[in-house]
Structure 1
Amino acid sequence: MNTALILIDWIVFLPLALCVGYLLFFAVASRFRSHLIDEGRESYKQHRFLVLFPAYKEDRVITESVGNFLQQDYPGELYDVLVISDHMQPETNDALRRLGANVLEATYPDSSKAKAMALAMQETPAGEYDAVVIMDADNNTVPHFLTRINEVFSQGFTAIQAHRTSKRAATDIALLDAVSEEINNGFFRSGHNAVGLSAALSGSGMVIAEANFRRYVSQLKTAGEDKELEALILKEGCGPIVYIPELPVYDEKTQRQEAISNQRRRWIAAQFGALRAALPDFPKALVQGNRDYCDKILQWMLPPRLVQLAAVFGITVVVTVVSPVASVKWWILSLAQVAAMIVPVPRELMTGRLLKALMRVPVLALIMIGNLFKLKGANKKFIHTQHGE
Structure 2
Amino acid sequence: MSLIFKLDILLFIITAIFTGYNLFFVLAALFRQRKKEINHVDTQNFAVIFAAYKEDRVIKESVESFLKQNYPQDKYTIVVVSDHMEEATNLALSQMPITLFVVDFKDSMKHKSISYALDHLDGFDRAIIMDADNVTDTDFLTRINEATQTVKVLQAHRTQKNKNTSVAIWDGISEEINNTIFRKGRVNIGLSSALIGSGMVFDFEWLKKHMHECKTFAEDKELEAILARDNVFVDYSDDIYVYDEKTARQDILIRQRSRWFHAQILAFSLIIKDFNPRKLNPSYIDKIIQWIPFPRTVRFLLIFLMILFWSVVAFPVAIKWYILLFVKIVTYFLAIPRKMYTRDFWSSIIQLPSMMIALLRSYVESICRVKKKDMRFNNTPHHITKENNHG
Does the pair score TM above 0.5? yes
Aligned mate of 2:133, from 135, 138, 156: 138
Letter in 2 for 1:11: L
Give deviations 1:210-237, integer Å, cap 9, x for gaps: 1110111111111111101111111111
- Name the counterpart of 1:382: 377
With structure 1 as the length reference, what TM-score do the two structures score? 0.93
Aligned mate of 1:103, from 100, 103, 120: 100
Distance in structure 2 (CA, Å) of the matches to 1:123 and 1:303: 40
Distance in structure 2 (CA, Å) of the matches to 1:302 and 1:109: 30
- Name the counterpart of 2:298: 307
Give yes or no for contact 2:33–2:188 (8 Å, CA) kept in 1. Answer: yes
* More divergent stretch after superposition (351-360 vs 369-378): 369-378
Give yes or no for contact 2:167–2:355 (8 Å, CA) kept in 1. Answer: no
Identity of aligned residues (%): 37
Distance in structure 1 (CA, Å) of the matches to 2:224 and 2:264: 12
- Name the counterpart of 1:370: 364
Aligned mate of 1:234, from 192, 217, 228: 228
Distance in structure 2 (CA, Å) of the matches to 1:269 and 1:384: 14
Letter in 1 for 2:365: N
Post-superposition offset of 1:378: 6.4
Give yes or no for contact 1:269–1:379 (8 Å, CA) kept in 2. Answer: no
Give deviations 1:121-180, integer Å, cap 9, x for gaps: 12113xx1011000000000011111111111112x111000100010211111111110
> Structure 1: which 5+ runs fail to align?
none
> Structure 2: which 5+ runs fail to align?
385-391
- Name the counterpart of 2:250: 257
Aligned mate of 2:239, from 235, 246, 252: 246
Letter in 1 for 2:252: A
- Name the counterpart of 2:202: 208
- Name the counterpart of 2:77: 80
Q: State the Cα RMSD in Å.
A: 1.7
Question: Does residue 1:276 correspond to 2:275, yes or no?
Answer: no
Letter in 2 for 1:244: S
Distance in structure 2 (CA, Å) of the matches to 1:205 and 1:315: 40
Change (3 A) 1:63 1:256: same
Give yes or no for contact 2:187–2:236 (8 Å, CA) kept in 1. Answer: yes
* More divergent stretch after superposition (317-326 vs 133-142): 317-326
Change (3 A) 1:245 1:293: same
Post-superposition offset of 1:245: 0.8
User: SS of 1:373's equivalent?
Assistant: helix
Change (3 A) 1:367 1:86: same
Give deviations 1:64-117, integer Å, cap 9, x for gaps: 100111111111101100000111122222222323111100132211111100
- Name the counterpart of 1:34: 33
Letter in 2 for 1:151: E
Distance in structure 2 (CA, Å) of the matches to 1:130 and 1:162: 17
Give yes or no for contact 1:61–1:387 (8 Å, CA) kept in 2. Answer: yes
Distance in structure 2 (CA, Å) of the matches to 1:51 and 1:249: 13
- Name the counterpart of 2:62: 65
Aligned mate of 1:198, from 186, 192, 205: 192
Give deviations 1:241-297, integer Å, cap 9, x for gaps: 11111111000011111111111111111111111111144461xx55511111011
Letter in 1 for 2:201: V
